[in-house]
Amino acid sequence: MKYVIMIGDGMSDYPLPELNNHTPLEVAKKPNMDKLAEKGCSGLTINAPKNLPVGSDVANMSIFGYDPHKYYTGRGPIEAANQGIETVDGDVVFRCNLITEKDGKIVDFTSGHISTEEATELMEALNKHFKDKYPDFKGFWHHGLSYRHLFVYHDINTSKLEIPAPHDIVDEDFNKYLDFDTSYGKTIKDIMFESKEVLKNHPVNLKRVSEGKNPANMIWLWGQGTKPSMPAFKDLYNIDAAVITGVDLLKGLAIFTKLNKVDVPGATGYFDTDYEAKAEYACNALKDNDLVIIHVEAPDEAGHAADIDEKIKAIERIDKIILGKILKELPKYGDYKVVVLPDHPTPVPLKTHSRDLVPITVYSSINEDNKDNVKVFSEKTNSEGSLGTSNIGCDLIKNLLNNTW
Ligand SMILES: [Zn+2]
């Protein structure tokens, strides 16, 4: 038996006036998803449990078969894993944004999408300053891309701090979020404020200001956590599985769970991702794996950009290029099951993720008699399916492997 899980990141949506009150999923031409719905079982589910952020990290952790309540520790450590950053016990990994600060407010959480080259210089300046001034300084910056970086700090207590994501508090007075009464909280706040002294008059920023660009004049530390301790996928489920994705967070999850991470040249995590290459690598991965999880980020990016056309196109490409090829390949191996779902909705009107239910369809080549009346894969039609409105969450893999589905 072979298994495929096809995740269209953020592909479900709300009925949009621009589409005559239909959703992008309803409008997109997607004969393969619809065929799976017609011959399979459908329903609605939710992958990001309450009390946790509705992020791709949390939602996909559920889809991978791990309870986020038990294993989710923050997005910092997941990104660090994919960048090959080694941590020791007691290390806490923070996301570190280079931000533009003015009068105690974040006016730009991307510092004008600062270039990686400029940002790298600033990260080096931070490391040098703190190391020179405090020989026992317990932190280190790892530069990433553009405004997105990581900071590893060796004090387990700091994992308890609650610091909002910078993109959620733009133009607000941020001091109220940093009013910590613990010594470790004050330390993190001091590091953020001291970064201003280092960055303000750095040549990179002086040049940016002279060119009319937003300076990266402060850092914002957030999204921190310790390295999660996750059992290997094979130890939990006793099958070989591979993940195909263009996104750091999912690659990081694959590392922690020891899933086979298939790197696809041309998988960008954006509109321009190479669908053909993903389809080809997915088909190849079927040879050595029982389960192949294919993740496409493009519909989520289209949702964030409120680009309805790109969202529809992304869904159609997933259907035609990836599912089309996979569905031709699977019968060569005998019986198979295919699951199609988004991790969470990224509705165009919100430009961000929502906690609404998502459609899920499960097709099993040995269970075609079990089908329900759903003939189209969509937010509305799936609600009438035999899987009902169920909180499948992290039981997805378990249900897929046993005979429930
Ligand atoms: Zn997502």
pLDDT for 293-323, tens place per residue?
A: 999 999 998 998 899 999 999 999 999 999 9
Mean pLDDT of 76-102: 93
Please tell me the distance between residue 55's alpha carbon and the centre of ligand 1 in angstroms: 6
Cβ of 156: how many Cβ atoms within 10 Å? 13
Q: What is the 3-state secondary structure (H, E, C) of 351-392?
A: CCCCCCCEEEEEEECCCHHHCCCCCCCCCCHHHHCCCEECCC
Q: Which of 254-258, 369-373, 396-400 comes out lowest in average pLDDT?
A: 369-373
Mean pLDDT of 129-158: 95
Please tell me the distance between residue 59's alpha carbon and the centre of ligand 1 in angstroms: 7
Please tell me the distance between residue 10's alpha carbon and the centre of ligand 1 in angstroms: 5
State the pLDDT at residue 271: 73
Tokens of 90: 């007691």
State the pLDDT at residue 266: 74
Residues with CB under 5 A from ligand 1 (ion): 9, 56, 300, 343
Q: Is 62 helix (H, G, I), strand (E, B) or coil?
A: helix
State the pLDDT at residue 134: 96
Question: pLDDT per residue over 339-354, tens digit each?
Answer: 999 999 999 999 889 9
Question: pLDDT per residue over 210-247, tens digit each?
Answer: 999 999 999 999 999 999 999 999 999 999 999 999 88
Please tell me the distance between residue 213's alpha carbon and the centre of ligand 1 in angstroms: 31
**Phi then psi for 199, rounded to 5 degrees?**
-90, -35
d(CA 38, CA 371): 7
Q: Which of 22-31, 56-65, 261-270, 374-383 comes out lowest in average pLDDT?
A: 261-270
State the pLDDT at residue 283: 97
Question: pLDDT per residue over 265-295, tens digit each?
Answer: 877 766 777 899 999 999 999 999 999 999 9
State the pLDDT at residue 269: 66
Please tell me the distance between residue 134's alpha carbon and the centre of ligand 1 in angstroms: 40
Please tell me the distance between residue 78's alpha carbon and the centre of ligand 1 in angstroms: 14
Please tell me the distance between residue 155's alpha carbon and the centre of ligand 1 in angstroms: 30
Please tell me the distance between residue 331's alpha carbon and the centre of ligand 1 in angstroms: 29
Which residue ranges form the domains of the chain, and what is each CATH number?
Answer: 2-71+229-401 (3.40.720.10), 81-225 (no CATH)
Q: Where is 120: in which H helix or E strand? A: helix 116-133
d(CA 3, CA 128): 50
d(CA 319, CA 268): 18
Please tell me the distance between residue 115's alpha carbon and the centre of ligand 1 in angstroms: 25
Please tell me the distance between residue 314's alpha carbon and the centre of ligand 1 in angstroms: 14
Share of the chain above pLDDT 90, in %: 84
State the pLDDT at residue 404: 76
Mean pLDDT of 131-151: 94
Please tell me the distance between residue 315's alpha carbon and the centre of ligand 1 in angstroms: 14
Please tell me the distance between residue 343's alpha carbon and the centre of ligand 1 in angstroms: 5
Please tell me the distance between residue 211's alpha carbon and the centre of ligand 1 in angstroms: 35
Question: pLDDT per residue over 154-164, tens digit each?
Answer: 999 999 999 99
**Phi then psi for 154, rounded to 5 degrees?**
-90, 75
d(CA 245, CA 251): 7
Please tell me the distance between residue 304's alpha carbon and the centre of ligand 1 in angstroms: 11
Please tell me the distance between residue 201's alpha carbon and the centre of ligand 1 in angstroms: 38
